[in-house]
Amino acid sequence: MENKVVIVTGAAKGIGRAIALKMAEAGCLGLVINDLRIDEYAESLAKEAQAYGVNVLLMAGDMSKEEDVKKLIDITTEKWNRLDVMINNAGIAKANNLFDTSTEDWDQVISVNMRSAFLGMKYAAAYMKDHGGGSIINMGSIAGITGGSTSPDYGASKAGILALTKYGAKFLAKYKIRVNALAPGTINTEMIKRNFENLEPEELQERLSAIPMGRMGEPEEVAKVALFFASDLSSFITGDSLMITGGRNT
């Protein structure tokens, strides 16, 4: 990752945090840590990343808002005169069934998850196409393949991201821009823990037993795949959605 500048959105916690630290550990030139707000989680992440000798920029912004995405890209490229890797990780999830999901819930999840990936890809690619290409990584989910079970909006948003990834890969290949997606399964994050809070012990065990490896994944295990897609090790891979699920595919 030497000489590469990386943006990670929604990076303060969970998978985003692990990805940001993995990019720093791999020796990237510059790391931009974005989240909705810069709080103690984002600041502590910046300190951990800086311990690897990486130049870190903290930037607050709502990635579902076009002006915030433009600002993120502009400030990054003004600082380093390059952008090599854009990781569209910002996202939310709600545990609502079909009947309990309001139109406001639906619109928010679709906007934060799918619209932010579209905007991040659009404006990162607009810079990359004139500056030698790059790698764009979108955060999908196994729910985008299976439909999910915690809410109707989450799986729909992630399925949209997987389709967007395939479109972007085909359209942007001529500019030397690769676009791939991560599709994690059950990963040990605060978001997953919140979604599991209301499950009965038997139901929780049923969820875990559906994973052939018999456990939740760790954010670090997703981050390793993100590093693969970000680096030149995956130079002939684009349009792929890689499941990180411990063998679960339903």
Is 175 a catalytic site residue? Answer: no
Contact at 8 Å (CB) between 25 and 51? no
d(CA 176, CA 185): 29
Helix-helix angle 66-80:116-128, to 10 degrees = 30
Judged by DSSP in three states, 146 sits in helix
C-alpha distance across the termini of the chain, in Å: 34
Q: Of 52, 154, 167, 175, which residue is the catalytic one? A: 154
- Looking up tokens 């915030």 gives 68
Q: In what order do the strands lie in the sheet with 5-8?
A: 55-60, 30-35, 5-8, 85-88, 134-139, 177-184, 241-244
Q: What is the 3-state secondary structure (H, E, C) of 84-134?
A: CEEEECCCCCCCCCCCCCCHHHHHHHHHHHHHHHHHHHHHHHHHHCCCCCE
Catalytic residues: 154
